[in-house]
Structure 1
Amino acid sequence: MAYIYYPGCASEATGKSNHISFEAVAHALGLELAGEIPDWNCCGATLVANAIGDFAQMALACRNLALAEKKGHDIIVACSSCYLNLAWPNELMRTNPDFAAKLNEALGAANLSYSGKLKVKHVVDVLANEIGAERIKERTIKPLEGLKVACYSGCQTVRALRRPDFDDVEYPQVMGRIVEAVGAEAVDFPLAARCCGGSQQFTNPELIYDLTGKVLDSAAAAGADVIVTTCPMCAMNTDVFQEKIGKLNKKKYNMPVLFLTQLMGVAFDLKPKDLAFQYNIVSPYGKLKKYGVKK
């Protein structure tokens, strides 16, 4: 079955390179996408839930599920926050009849309803557990031999539903299998599932600098050349604030932060426009030059 794609708000801003490279990699692997959810809306991530309340946030998310169900396709999500905010109410719709009744009453105001029958899948889950390492290896044209990668899942991706058939919630391994399938080395990275501080840059930037600094230190100590993630918030905090954190800690990191599909796109020898490196703050070109990546 083809998946229908939920891009999420970050796809038009801080996660634009995630969005662009995901679509290019999906095409390269022959992953069938039935377009985007028509008229999709924000999933209610980060500060929205605090402003409107948990149930209203879930109703906002479930509107996307109802629209996807009309098209008859399971949903694939590239953003970790969006995955959490769609997968969790989807699970409640399936397992909690009282919640489902109340939620469908809310959706009814927009002449919508949702049965809870769709699956919501994160792109890492689909890549690792459905497409698989062998197919990714077969598609790899330029193996990333010698590149050491810190795989940063963040706190949301593997904990949304805590599915053991997806990944370990404390010591994620799945992204590393994908990284190694394209020829790179996934280094031992103890903080792979540690929070970066999320959206606290708006209210408590010192927390961001502390938590994200620990992530950067751990990646550097592991000998990583780059950090790879699928979470736009994790990518933003480790990339945008890297110079600031370095000055506070009297360190110089120079650690490019890539989305997983950007890294895969390099190995697949995709065109530069499909990898969207122009949106990266810490330049990746020096670390990726030997794999043919140029400005």
Structure 2
Amino acid sequence: MKAMFYPGCSMQRNARPYLDSLQAIKGDIDLELQEIADWNCCGATEYMSVHRVAAHSLVGRNLALAQHQATGTDLLTAGCSACYLNLAKTDAQMREDAQLKGTVNEALAAGGLAYQPGRLKVRHLLDIVCHDIGYAAIQAKVVKPLHGLKVAAYYGCQVVRPDYDGRWDSHERPTSMDKLLQALGAEPVDWSLKTQCCGGHMSVIGPDVAFGLIRRLIHGAREAGADMVVTLCPMCQLNLDAYQVEMNKHFHTDYQVPVLYFTQLMGLALGKPAKELGIGKEFVDAAPALAKIQAEAPKAEATKRKRRPKASDGLPMPGMESRHD
């Protein structure tokens, strides 16, 4: 199947393993992605509350570009929860609010663009993988089942909660990623925190609050018996992985719970080399957990390189640029 693809800023940098693993597996699962040419940042989670019209215009430009570039598909997908939410929200609110639609299109006209809301169906990548490609089709492609690997599927607080065009999973107890993990041969653990917030950008503006949320999630996953956490959101992966060391220092704990993307586990099950999937780019080393499935994974780069020092105000400053140079 084919879809327009909005990668978003995170996939170009700190979430590069998400993009790399997606590119590695898309051919195996018969997924054709047409990246939007000249896309721009979606504004992430904060901009909508700062300037509504400007924020929708920023997102509307991506929708307009996708609409005009699409060939043979009306689907638009994103792997980032914030990107997906913003694209879906702008499309829905432009449909419902004629004044907003006119104002946004007036702004887009300055660049020779226009967007007709409703022309595209905005879907999250996980939704398409699970419900369009399907669990059975994916299971049929598995060559190295992940038997013996216990995984906590973590959805985060954004992706299953919007209800613009019909919710595709439960907003309290989603199961789509759990079913995907089962199709790959892994064992999803039963835990109650799969849609709890990771702290988002609080890791930068209020680290004490974020550390409490991160600790709750990591502790919950470990208590449930998980070898690792698997997510679909770059911000969730960043907080739980990159800030886990700082959280341990803050609470005098010693959690070592690796956090990977669902596409990386798909790649392993489909027989792709770990390095091709970006495994080894994480901060908390995934190699010990992956040894349970006899996967040869490179040692995490974060354990081999010196990290940037903290800023003078004491905020944690993970050296993201060192992960993907």
TM-score (normalizing by structure 2): 0.86
Higher helix share: 1
Q: Give matches, 1:21-170, under 5 Å.
A: 21-34=21-34, 36-49=35-48, 53-72=51-70, 73=73, 74-116=75-117, 117-161=119-163, 165-170=167-172
Of 208, 213, 218, the match for 2:215: 213
Residues 248-259 of structure 1 correspond to what in structure 2 (within 5 A)?
248-259=250-261
Q: What is residue 295 of structure 2 aligned with on the other side?
A: 292
CA distance in 2 between counterparts of 1:41 and 1:150 reads 32
Residue deviations 1:45-85, cap 9 Å, x none? 034445x5122111101100000001224211111111111
Q: Residues 293, 164 of structure 1: CA spacing in aligned structure 2 closer, same or farther, 3 A cutoff?
A: farther
CA offset digits 1:63-122 (Å, max 9, x no partner): 000000012242111111111111111112233322212211121111110011101110
Write the distance in 1 (CA, Å) between the matches of 2:43 and 2:297. Answer: 37
What percent of counterpart residues are identical? 39
User: Any stretches of 5+ residues in structure 1 without a counterpart?
Assistant: none
Matched residues in 1 for 2:295 and 2:33: separation?
A: 29
The one-letter code matched in structure 1 to 2:32 is E
Q: CA deviation at 1:165?
A: 4.5
CA distance in 1: counterparts of 2:94 and 2:39, whole angstroms: 19
Q: Deviations over 1:166-216 (max 9, x none)?
A: 100111111111111101111112111111110112210111101111111
1:200 and 2:202 aligned: yes
Query: Aligned pair in 2 of structure 1 residues 190, 139: CA closer, same or farther (>3 Å)?
Result: same
Where 1:132 maps in the other structure, the secondary structure is: helix
The structure 1 segments of at least 4 consecutive aligned residues displaced by more than 6 Å after TM superposition are none
Q: What is the one-letter code of the residue matched to 2:68? A: K
- Count of aligned positions: 293
* Distance in structure 2 (CA, Å) of the matches to 1:274 and 1:169: 33
RMSD across aligned positions (CA):
1.5
Tell me which residue corresponds to 1:20. 20
TM-score when normalising by structure 1: 0.95
Task: Give the aligned partner of residue 245 of structure 1.
Answer: 247
Mapped contact 1:44–1:58 kept (Cα < 8 A): no
Q: In structure 2, what residue type is equivalent to 1:58?
A: H
Aligned to 1:191: 193
Q: Which runs of 5+ in 2 are unaligned?
A: 299-325
CA–CA distance in structure 2, aligned partners of residues 212 and 234 of structure 1: 9
- Cα distance in 2 between the residues matched to 1:229 and 1:187: 14
